[in-house]
A and B are shown apart, each in its own frame.
Chain A
């Protein structure tokens, strides 16, 4: 298993600004994922972030809007850039250790 923490747990931001979300894992893992989830809804994969390579983005998500860093095997960041109210959501990171384990999420509200 893996224990994952995320910072911040929640934030309220103004449109046009950017927010960087941090994801810290208690062990070294190769594969890390970033998801977006509307409350009560399913998860939408934003990108796969493997250490040592560029993140791979899913259809509808671009690097300019959601830049991702993966500097080592225990840490990653997701930035939500030039935010609009449509970016209000829960952002989750996860790691793959045969099973995917999830962080607690970051609840973002954009005004």
Chain B
């Protein structure tokens, strides 16, 4: 069975500082890993994904994530946070034989203060 954990309910960061949102996963096979962002009263927006290849993945809005197989982690990062990055972030995992079903984490609320 696949699962994903986001250990932090909320992350607070000052504008201009680095932002990290943590995600760890558990799968029996090779993972497909994803990050989504949800702004208030909106659906989920795709940020980036890891399927295979380079462990450092770059995505939308200046975000990137690093796949670490030994630590089973896929942390989301942004070098310099903006107030507009304040939103709810979800990590998700899909196993290759899961019939396309994703397992979503509980979500991490990011609050960027001016």
Contact = CB atoms under 8 A, between A and B. Distances in A.
Q: Do A and B bind each other?
A: yes
Interface of A: 1, 4, 31, 33, 40-43, 45, 48, 92, 94, 96, 98-105, 107
A101 B107 contact: no
Contacts, number: 48
A42 B42 contact: no
A41 B105 CA distance: 9
B88 A40 contact: yes
Given A41-B107, A102-B43, A103-B43, A48 B49 contact: no
A45 B100 CA distance: 12
Contact of A45 (B46, B101, B106, B107): B101
A42 B100 CA distance: 18
Given A48-B99, A48-B100, A48-B101, A42 B49 contact: no
Contacts of A94: 44
- The contact size tier of chain B is 20 to 34
B42 A104 contact: yes
Contact of A99 (B34, B41, B90, B104): B34
Contacts of A107: 41
A31 B42 contact: no
Interface string B85-105: 000101010000001111011
Contact of B43 (A1, A31, A98, A104): A104
B90 A42 contact: yes
Contacts of A43: 44, 90, 104
B81 to A, nearest CB: 20
